[in-house]
Amino acid sequence: MKENVIEISHLTKSYGKSRGVIDVSFNVKEGDIFGFLGPNGAGKSTTIRSMLGFLKINSGNIKILGMDSVKDHEKILKNIGYMPSEAWFYDSMKVSDVIKYAADVRGLDCSKEAAKLCERLKVDTHKKIKQLSLGNRKKVSIVCAMQHRPRLFIFDEPTGGLDPLMQKKFFELINEYVAQGATCLLSTHVLSEVDKYCKNAAIMREGRLTMLGTPHIDDETFLSFYEEEEG
Amino acid sequence: MRSVLKRELLLNLKNLLIWSLSVGALGLVCILLYKSMEGEMKDMADAFSNMGAFSEAFGMSTLSIATLKGYFATEIGAVHGLGSCMFAAIIAINIISKEEDAHTGEFLFSLPLSRNRILTAKSLCVAIMLVLFTIVCTLFYLLGFSILGEEMPLDLFFTFMARQFLMNLEVAGICLALSSLTGKNRMGLGLGMALLFYAYDVMGRVIPDLKKYLFIGPFSYANASEIFTNAQFPLSGILVAGAALVCCIAFAFWYYGKRDLAS
């Protein structure tokens, strides 16, 4: 029986009077690639940011790798590789410095893994961050998220800005790490990614979560979640 | 935490060099000008000491600018006070909020560090910057005294620099607390605070009714003319400074630890 890597129960988070997420509960098992779908503003990023401790939740419980997300915040982050939807770094730093900085803060020497990832993703480590396009910044973000070989990956719309070849390489890397025991939460708008790579999926709408019986849904069913919300 | 501290020091190095070299060099040039103005100083000193509230505000009623001690206290004292206060405000006002303003927070806060550790590293960075700033300026001023070869009471000079450092810490503490409140760049607010504190001190020395409330402001205990005339030890001002510093830093840690971080 595989363990739950993510256990979220009755998570509620609001921003003053604005809705964030309401009573969200779901589990992600070890070795899963879990698709997290939903329209813009549905609450996907709020859920992810609550898991990472960026947001203070109103009620509910979040356990990651069996640890409490509030009490064991630092321990949890040691085992997570996070890639935000917009990859921003310090403009004046060189790519190699950013990658080393992320490893240094973790107290790890990740140079071998980082070099392997940079080679596969064709990352130019000599450039300064301010010289990079969004796609290239995303590649740096992938390296920072993967170089320490975490037990859990959290990707928030990771493929936006990446060219098709890089998207393919990115998913190859995820599959390799998952085959070695990692787990992945993939927040995305791209149904084909969920259909092709995910084992389980859930969809968020207006702050509430609905588990999908299968990640292999057709376009019409998928779009109906968006249309119903507009209606 | 050491990596974050190192990164912050590197990110702020340019600011430190620009401000410490500018304020220090300006002070040095002013000190060196003393020799060339020495002949005219006597008449100027008489004129400046009889300008009523203005003389009072800038300490020229109690110190003669015809001596190096008086010249330093009235001229360089003001330049260093205002310059160092602005530097302290600039360094501290964005040290926390810049992460959210520049969207680098998601990268930094996803690393395995608590917010307290990050804030400790950033606070230490501000303190180190102020120590280095004070050392650089002190060296410039000592160089000026040594070139002039004039007598300067070094005990009073070091007391002045130490109190200025405390004033810088207090201003930085207040700005650090302000920086913890939002994720927006507040450079204007920081500079405004520095100028406000300076103006409060000048007004407090000119307006008699304000004089008894002078100790609230950070400039009150760091006033060069009072230090160089061995005025009474400003205990209340220093106690207020210590309390303000501790309260502001504690507030920054408390508030930053509980608030949501912007993406």
pLDDT, one tens digit per residue, over A83-120 is: 998 888 888 899 999 999 999 999 999 999 999 999 99
**In A, which residues are within 8 Å of B4 by CB distance?**
105
Tell me how far apart the alpha carbons of residues A38 and A75 are, in angstroms, rounded to a whole number: 29
- Mind telling me how many Å the CA of A191 is from chain B's nearest CA? 25
Residue A137 in any domain: the answer is no
- Mind telling me how many Å the CA of B176 is from chain A's nearest CA? 20
In the predicted structure, residue B88 carries a pLDDT above the cut 90: yes
pTM of this structure: 0.87
Task: Please check whether residue B60 is in contact with residue B157, taking contact to mean a CB–CB distance below 8 angstroms.
Answer: no
Those residues with Cβ within 8 angstroms of residue A3's Cβ, 6 or more apart along the chain or in another chain: A29, A30, A66
At B57 the pLDDT is 63
**In A, which residues are within 8 Å of B107 by CB distance?**
84, 87-89, 102, 141, 144
Residue A97 in any domain: the answer is no
What chain B residue is nearest to A153 in terms of C-alpha separation? B110
A130 lies within 8 A of chain B by CB? no
Q: What are phi and psi of B45, to 5 degrees?
A: -60, -40
* Number of residues in chain A: 231
Tell me how far apart the alpha carbons of residues B263 and B249 are, in angstroms, rounded to a whole number: 24
Residue A158 in any domain: the answer is no
A90 lies within 8 A of chain B by CB? yes
Closest partner CB to A82 (pick from B4, B110, B263): B110
On whether ipTM exceeds 0.90, the answer is no
CA distances (Å), A158 to each of A87, A122, A192, in order?
A: 9, 17, 14
Q: Is A102's CB within 8 Å of B112's CB?
A: no
CA distances (Å), A61 to each of A69, A140, A216, in order?
A: 8, 32, 29
- Mind telling me how many Å the CA of A209 is from chain B's nearest CA? 22
Give the mean model confidence (pLDDT) for residues B162-190.
92
State chain A's mean pLDDT as an integer. 88
- The domain that holds A56 is classified in CATH as 3.40.50.300
Q: Is A106's CB within 8 Å of B111's CB?
A: yes
Q: What percent of chain A has pLDDT over 70?
A: 97
Cα B221 to chain centroid distance, Å, stands at: 12
Those residues with Cβ within 8 angstroms of residue A62's Cβ, 6 or more apart along the chain or in another chain: A6, A7, A8, A11, A50, A51, A68, A69, A70
Residue A144 in any domain: the answer is no
Report the candidate in A32, A34, A4, A5 with the shortest Cα–Cα distance to residue A179: A32
In the predicted structure, residue A219 carries a pLDDT above the cut 80: no
Task: Determine the 3-state secondary structure of B137 from DSSP.
Answer: helix
Give the mean model confidence (pLDDT) for residues B215-237.
86
Residue A114 in any domain: the answer is no
At A159 the pLDDT is 87
Provide the residue range defining the domain that includes A38: 1-79+188-231
Q: In what order do the strands lie in the sheet containing A80-83?
A: A80-83, A152-156, A183-187, A33-37, A200-205, A208-212
Give the mean model confidence (pLDDT) for residues B37-52.
68
Band of residue A60 on the pLDDT scale cut at 50, 70, 90: very high
State chain B's mean pLDDT as an integer. 88
pLDDT, one tens digit per residue, over B155-173 is: 999 999 999 999 999 999 9
At B175 the pLDDT is 95
What chain B residue is nearest to A52 in terms of C-alpha separation? B110
Report the run of H or E that residue A25 belongs to, with start and end: strand A18-29
Task: Please check whether residue B24 is in contact with residue B144, taking contact to mean a CB–CB distance below 8 angstroms.
Answer: no
Residue A73 in any domain: the answer is yes
At A192 the pLDDT is 83
Residue A1 in any domain: the answer is yes
Task: Please check whether residue B189 is in contact with residue B94, taking contact to mean a CB–CB distance below 8 angstroms.
Answer: no
Give the mean model confidence (pLDDT) for residues A159-177.
90
At A121 the pLDDT is 92
pLDDT, one tens digit per residue, over B139-156 is: 999 999 999 888 889 999
Q: Is A77's CB within 8 Å of B11's CB?
A: no
Give the mean model confidence (pLDDT) for residues B214-229.
86
Number of independent structural domains in chain A: 1
- A55 compared with B204, residue with greater pLDDT: A55
Residue A52 in any domain: the answer is yes
In the predicted structure, residue B193 carries a pLDDT above the cut 80: yes
Task: Please check whether residue A126 is in contact with residue A176, taking contact to mean a CB–CB distance below 8 angstroms.
Answer: no
Band of residue A231 on the pLDDT scale cut at 50, 70, 90: very low
In the predicted structure, residue A230 carries a pLDDT above the cut 60: no
